[in-house]
Chain A
Amino acid sequence: MSVTEQQYAPGEHPDLPPPLGEAGLIAWFKKRLFSSVGNTILTLVAVFFLYHVLSAIIFWTLTGATFTGETKADCDLGGACWLVIGDRFHQFMYGLYPTDQYWRPNLTFILMVVAIVPVLFDNIPHRGKFLLFSAIFPFIAFYLLSGGWGLETVDTDEWGGLLLTLVLGVTGIVASLPIGIVLALGRRSNMPIVRTLCVCFIEFIRGVPLITILFMASNMLPLFLPEGVNFDKLLRALIGVALFSSAYMAEVIRGGLQAIPKGQYEGADAMGLSYWQSMRLIILPQALRIVIPGIVNTFIGLYKDTTLVSIIGLFDLIGIGLVAVADVKWRGLAPETYAFIALLFFISCFAMSRYSLWLENKLHTGHKR
C-alpha cells in the first residue's frame, strides 16, 4: 500500500469517475460495435455497405440530380431527373381539379388538420367543441370539394392525386368505424343468427384480396342497382374500401371488447342498464380506448391499400404516377416518379406509426416493466 494514499473511514470514500473504458463514447463504441472479432467484422461490413448505398442514393437524389430545366434533355448529370415532378406537381396534388378552384382542396386540407388534431390528442383546450367540429367535418369537406349551392360543381372524375388518396383514406376510416363496431358487437352477440352472419361477413372479406372486392364493386355493383340508379366510379370504390376496412376494423374492436374484464359487463347489467346503454356508457368507451393503436395501424394499412384504386381506373397518387410515366415527354422516368410517391407515403405512414407507438406507450401506464 502506498504511503501517500489518504485513508478514509469505511463508506466515506468519494465516488470515483468510472474507468475510461467503461463509460462515455469510447465504451459505447467498444460495447456496441467492436465487442468481439465477429462483431468488428460485422461493423466493418456494415460500414462498407452503408457507404456504398448512401453514396449511391445521395448521388442519385441530390448531387447527380437535375432540378432545373425544361425537358428531359436537360437531365444529363446521370442522377434523377426531378423535372417530371415539378412539371406535374399540381396533378400529383390535385389530379385534374380545376386550377382556379385549388383553394377548395387547400381549405379542406387545413380544416382536416383542425378536425383531426382533437381526435388524436386529448390534452388540448376546448376539446369538446373541436370534437363537434370533427363530427361535422366530413359534410363540410364533401360540400367544399364537390360544390353546388353557390360553389362551382366539380365532378369526382376530376379529383385525383394526393387529394383523392386522402379522400379515400379518410372516408374509409370514417365509414368503417361504425360498421366495424356493429360487426364486432354482432360477432359477440348471444343471438346465433346475428353472430353467424357477422362471422361469415368478416371472414369472407378477410379471406379475399382487396382487389377482388374492388373488382366486385366496379363490375358487379352496377348490376345490383335498379335501372336508372348509377353510382359514380369514386363512390363504388369507396363502398368497396369501406366494406373491406370495416371487416378488419371489426376484428380490432373485438380484441378490445374481449380485453374488458367480465366484471364490467356484469356491473353494467347489475346497474340495470339496457344492452345499448351498457355498450355506449360502459363497454365501448373502455374498449375503443384500448384499441386506438390498433385502429391507427388498420388505418395505415387502409391508407396504403387505397393505392389499389388505380387498378380500377381512378387517378389517385399512383394513378397520376402511371399517367406521368406513360407521358412521351418524360419517358423512362418511372423510378423518379415512384420514388416521389414513395416519399409522400413514407412520410405520412411513418408519422402515423410513430403516433401509434407514442399512444401505446401513453396507454400502457404501469403495466410495462
Chain B
Amino acid sequence: MSAETAQNARGSGGASLFSDQRFRSLFFQALVIGLLGAFLVFIVYNTAHNIEKRGIQTGFAFLDAAAGYDIAISPFMEYTATHTHGRVFLVGLFNTLLVSFLGIIAATFLGVFLGVLRLSPNWLVSRIVYCYVEFTRNVPLLLQILLWYAIFLALPSVKQSITMFNDIIILNKRGLVLPEPLPGDGFMLVPIALVVAIVASIFFARWAKKTQAATGKIYPVFMTNTAMIIGLPLLAFAVTGFPLDFAYAELKGFNFKGGVVIKPEFTALWFALSLYTAAFISETVRAGIQSVSHGQTEASEALGLRPSWTMRLIILPQALRVIIPPMTSQYLNLTKNSSLAVAIGYPDIVQSFGGVTLNQTGQAIEVIFITMLVYLTISLLISAFMNWYNNRVSLVER
C-alpha cells in the first residue's frame, strides 16, 4: 500500500477527521472567530447598556460643540474657549506634532554627537558620556519631565526676570520671551529662496554624483550646497532691503506684553524628550559604528583615502544599515512618549483632547478611539518614511 492511499484511508474515516491537519486548522480558526465574536457581542451589549443607563451621548456630534475651556499653547491657530472640541483636537494634534518634530531633530543631533563622543579615544570623555547615558536611560522619563518642569518653575518670577542682550531675551518662571519677528513687504522672497536653494542643491548633488561615476571628477558638493542654502536666502534678504522688524517684549503690569513666549511646559517636555531619547540614540549610533569591522577602516586607509572620506564613504554607509531600524523605533518612542505631556499640562492631544474633552463630554469611547487612531497613523507614517529611507541606504546584496 502506498503512503498516499494510507493517508486517504486514515483521512476518510469520520472518527479520525480531527487528525487531518487542514480540518484541524479550519476548526481552530472557526473556534477563535467564534470566541472573539462572542466576546465582542458581550462587550458591545454591556457597553450599550451602560451608556444608556449613565445617559452618555454617543456619536461624533461633540466635535462641533463649544469646548468651553482655554488652551495656553496654540502656536499654529487661533483658539479661544468658544471654539469647538474639533478645534481642540486640531490644536492638540499640532502641539503633539510640534514637540515630536523638534524633539526628533534635537535628539538626533545630540544622540549622534554623544555616540561619537562615546567612541572617542579619550577615556575621560567616553566615561562622562557613558555615565550620562546610563543615568538617563535608567530613570523613568515621566520623572525627568517632572524634574525639568520643576527646574523651569523654579526660575525667578516676572519682576526679577533674567534678561540677556539688553532686554531682548527674557527668562522667567512663565517662560522664555523672545522678540517677535514682524516680516515686512517682500519678506516672502526669503523662504522662496531657501526652497529654491534646497531644490538646486539636491540637483547639484545628483549631477555631481553622476559626473563622478562617469568621469571620476570630484566636486566640492558639501561646501557648494552649504554656501547655496545659507547664501541664497541671505542674498534675497539683502536685495529686498532687510524687510524684517522685531516686536520686543515690555513689562506691563504683572507680565510681559508682546514678543513670543515659549512656555515652560513646552520647554520642559522638549528638553526631557530630547535628552532621554538622545541617550538611546547615542547607544544605537555607537553600536552601528562598532558593527563595521576594523578591517574596513584599514582597507580604506590602505587605498589611500583621507580619514574624512573613510568615515563618509566606507564606515557610515555600512553603519547606517545597522543604525536606521533601531533609530526608527526611537523616533516612534519619542512621538509616543510625548503623550506624557499630560503630566505637566502641555496641551498635546492626550492632555487637551484625550483628557479635558473626555472629562467634559464623558464620551470615552469616541475620544480614546480618535486619540489612538492619531498615534497609529503617526506611527505608520514614520515607519513608512524610515522604511523608504532604509531601502535607499541598504546595500544591494547579490
Contacts and interface: CB of A to CB of B under 8 A. Distances in A.
A350 B138 contact: yes
B339 interface: yes
Given A227-B49, A346-B138, A219 B337 contact: no
- Interface size for chain B: under 10, 10 to 19, 20 to 34, or 35 or more residues? 35 or more
A48 to B, nearest CB: 11
Interface in B356-383: 358, 364-365, 368, 371-372, 375-376, 379-380
B128 to A, nearest CB: 6
Interface stretch (A6-14, A278-286, A303-311): A303-311
Contact of A349 (B139, B337, B342): B139
B140 A304 contact: yes
A318 B146 contact: yes
Contacts of B365: 220, 223
B50 interface: yes
B372 A208 contact: yes
A140 interface: no
Contacts of B141: 304
A346 B28 CA distance: 46
A350 B32 contact: no
A219 B359 CA distance: 10
A103 interface: no
Interface residues of A, number: 57
Interface stretch (B75-83, B147-155, B175-183, B320-328): B147-155
A208 B50 CA distance: 26
A32 B380 contact: no
A341 B143 contact: yes
Interface stretch (B108-116, B119-127, B193-201): B119-127
Contacts of A288: none
Contacts of A222: 50
A220 B365 CA distance: 6
Contacts of B358: 215, 219
A209 B339 contact: yes
Query: For chain A, what secondary structure do more than half of its interface residues adopt (helix, strand, loop), or is it mixed?
Result: helix
B25 interface: yes
Interface string A203-223: 010111111100110011011
Nearest to B364: A219
B247 interface: no
B376 A208 contact: yes
A20 interface: no
Given A211-B350, A342-B143, A345-B138, A42 B46 contact: no
B376 A49 contact: no
Interface in A304-328: 304-305, 307-308, 310-311, 318, 321-322, 325
B387 to A, nearest CB: 14
B51 to A, nearest CB: 7
A191 interface: yes
A127 B343 CA distance: 44
A99 interface: no
A50 B49 CA distance: 63
Nearest to A336: B150
Contacts of B33: 193
A212 B371 contact: yes
Interface of A: 32-33, 35, 39, 42-43, 46-47, 49-50, 190-194, 197, 204, 206-212, 215-216, 219-220, 222-227, 300, 304-305, 307-308, 310-311, 318, 321-322, 325, 332, 334-335, 338-339, 341-342, 345-346, 349-350, 353
Interface of B: 25, 28-29, 32-33, 36, 43, 46-47, 49-51, 53, 120-125, 128, 134-135, 137-144, 146-147, 150-151, 153-154, 336-337, 339-340, 342-343, 350, 354, 358, 364-365, 368, 371-372, 375-376, 379-380
Given A49-B128, A210-B336, A223-B47, 18 more contacts: A33-B122, A33-B124, A42-B125, A46-B125, A209-B336, A212-B368, A212-B375, A222-B50, A223-B365, A224-B43, A224-B47, A304-B138, A335-B147, A339-B147, A341-B143, A342-B143, A345-B140, A349-B139
21 contacts: A32-B121, A39-B121, A43-B122, A46-B124, A193-B29, A207-B375, A209-B350, A212-B350, A219-B358, A223-B51, A223-B365, A224-B46, A225-B50, A226-B46, A304-B138, A305-B140, A318-B146, A342-B139, A349-B138, A349-B139, A353-B138
